[in-house]
Amino acid sequence: MKEDYAIAVRSYKRPEIFRDKTFKTLNDNKLLNKMYVFVADDKEKKTYEKVLPIGTRIIIGEKGGCNAVKAICKYFKPNSRIVFMDDDLKDYYGNITLTNLIEDGFETIDKEKCGAFTVSLISNKLWTKDKPTKECRWFVLRGSFWGARNDYDMIVTPMSHADDILRTSRYLEKYGKICVFWKCGFKTKYGIEDGGMQVSGDRLDTESSCNTVYNNYSIVQKYFKKPEYSEEAKLWDMKIKPYRQKK
């Protein structure tokens, strides 16, 4: 019997966006039976209950990006399998089904001892045409979609922006690699939709967040370049250093 997994979605003040995007994506892929949506408080839960079908598992967690992740890790058993998803992911694309991606992802991280898996979010087929379906290497574990066994000390961070950078650094330090599915991803507009974790009150501006994480964590400096402003994304970010296989 295959080991089960849960799909945990953080959502804040986005009941309709969640319903029309991530909820629909999971429904289209017959994965609603795996899904738990975590909201900030009882008031938020009641709002979501009015929008979502009866029977949807709505869990009261904590307000704020990093606190929501903390609540998810506390809710599920240690070492259990969790997929973390944002609430605004739509139109999954890939050369394998989303179900197969998740199942293969968990099997791969156990077999290859790489700790976590994610998707590339690169929809340019010309760029990815020569890439394998998956590869275990250095890669950024973006917070929008990733899977791992529940390890509180690895997953939980004290910040809500650039938390994925610190988390990636932890996994690379411990495992030396992350499993990336090159040809799979979702369509999303980062930080543009109304609501979301960016308005939950615990995020600094992206420049301050990136500089704070980079300057305060030597492990981040080991795997990432100095923060830079991205004209394309319209925010500050850090690029991962060139891949070096851990010996």
Residue 246 falls within a domain, yes or no?
no
Which pLDDT score, from 0 to 100, does residue 198 have? 47
Cα–Cα distance for residue pair 202/163, rounded to 1 Å: 12
Cβ atoms 227, 211 nearer than 8 A: yes
242 domain residue, yes or no: no
Residue 163 included in any domain: yes
Domain of 118 in residue numbering reads as 5-237
pLDDT at 127: 74
Q: What's the CATH code of the domain at 74?
A: 3.90.550
Query: Does residue 247 belong to any structural domain of this protein?
Result: no
For the chain, what is the mean pLDDT? 90
pLDDT score recorded for residue 85: 97
pTM for the model stands at: 0.91
* 244 occurs within a structural domain: no
Number of domains present in the structure of the chain: 1
pLDDT (average), residues 205-224: 93
**41 belongs to a structural domain:** yes
pLDDT confidence of residue 235: 83
Query: Would the pLDDT of 202 be above 60?
Result: no
With a cut of 50, say whether residue 197 has pLDDT above it. no
Asked whether the predicted pLDDT for residue 89 surpasses 70, the reply is: yes
Residue 246 confidence (pLDDT) above 60:
no
**C-alpha closest to that of 142 among 238, 78, 77:** 238
Burial of 247 (0-12, 13-18, 19+ CB in 10 A): exposed
Residue 144 resides in a domain? yes
Q: Is the pLDDT of residue 74 over 90?
A: yes
Between 200 and 58, name the one with better pLDDT. 58
Name which residue leads in pLDDT, 177 or 201. 177
* 183 contacts: CB under 8 Å, gap ≥ 6: 94, 95, 120, 125, 128, 131, 133
- Answer whether residue 212 is part of any domain: yes
| Of the candidates 74, 97, 80, the residue with the CA atom closest to the CA atom of residue 26 | 97
